[in-house]
Structure 1
């Protein structure tokens, strides 16, 4: 399937099966680059580095904020800090969020998704 903008889109949440340098595997598919795993599905995310996250990058997450409770932001290989104005956007939308290296974020997302929790993730490719 494809998003209205034509980008690839899996219209449901599924576990992240694997990841590596610049790719993610999920539902027998592979995607090069960062991804968003939200209640509406999994789609590409234009973020190449954690430092690239801005209000525009968070817009698709904020658009679905009422559909989930907890967001995991995968920061790439290393821990990182989200700028305070961006934290405020997430909080104002009612989202709790955790920042952690992408490997930990993907694993935690999988566990909570498997428990039926209302979760989402923005995962920066390694």
Structure 2
């Protein structure tokens, strides 16, 4: 078996997460986070749809991290994103971070909006 190092080029990987924080590309962000290939910023949560909708045409799928437990995203968020042409995949924040890292390493057009665990 041969292992290959994952490279992110200029993408922002999620390095770690814990109670109330995310570490993205070495920077700690407290609270909810929005991570794209280009940046990681604090996010106000599912009611704060403007920065998510600004990603229309730039991403195909948004991974929505629901915190410690899996849950459905709010209907208004899902509807707004789908209307903007962005698919939404909801899962607990831990698997959302891991899935984001794998797919960003593959060069996929994705983003992560996650609530803290």
TM-score, normalization: structure 1? 0.80
User: Any gaps of 5 or more consecutive residues in structure 2?
Assistant: 1-9
Report the counterpart of residue 28 of structure 2 in structure 1: 30
- Counterpart residue number, 2:12: 14
**CA–CA distance in 1 between the matches of 2:73 and 2:95?**
17
Deviation at 1:83, TM superposition (A): 2.9
Q: Runs of 4+ in structure 1 displaced over 6 angstroms?
A: none
Any unmatched runs of 5+ in structure 1? 1-11, 48-52
Deviations 1:83-115 (A, max 9, x none): 323221111100011000000000000000000
Q: Name 1:122's counterpart in structure 2.
A: 113
The answer to whether structure 1 residue 71 and structure 2 residue 71 are counterparts is: no
Residue 103, structure 1, aligned to residue 101, structure 2: no
How many residues align structurally?
108
Task: Show CA shifts across 1:48-94 (max 9, x none).
Answer: xxxxx22xx11101011110101100000111112323221111100
Rounded to whole Å, the distance in 2 between the matches of 1:44 and 1:13 is: 17
RMSD: 1.3
Query: Aligned residue for 2:41?
Result: 43
What's the CA shift for 1:33? 1.2
User: Higher helix share goes to which structure?
Assistant: 1
| Equivalent in the alignment of 1:89 | 80
Q: Per the alignment, do residues 17 and 73 of structure 1 end up closer, same or farther by CA in structure 2, a change over 3 Å counting? A: same
CA contact (8 A) 1:33 1:44 kept: yes
Matched, 1:113 2:104: yes
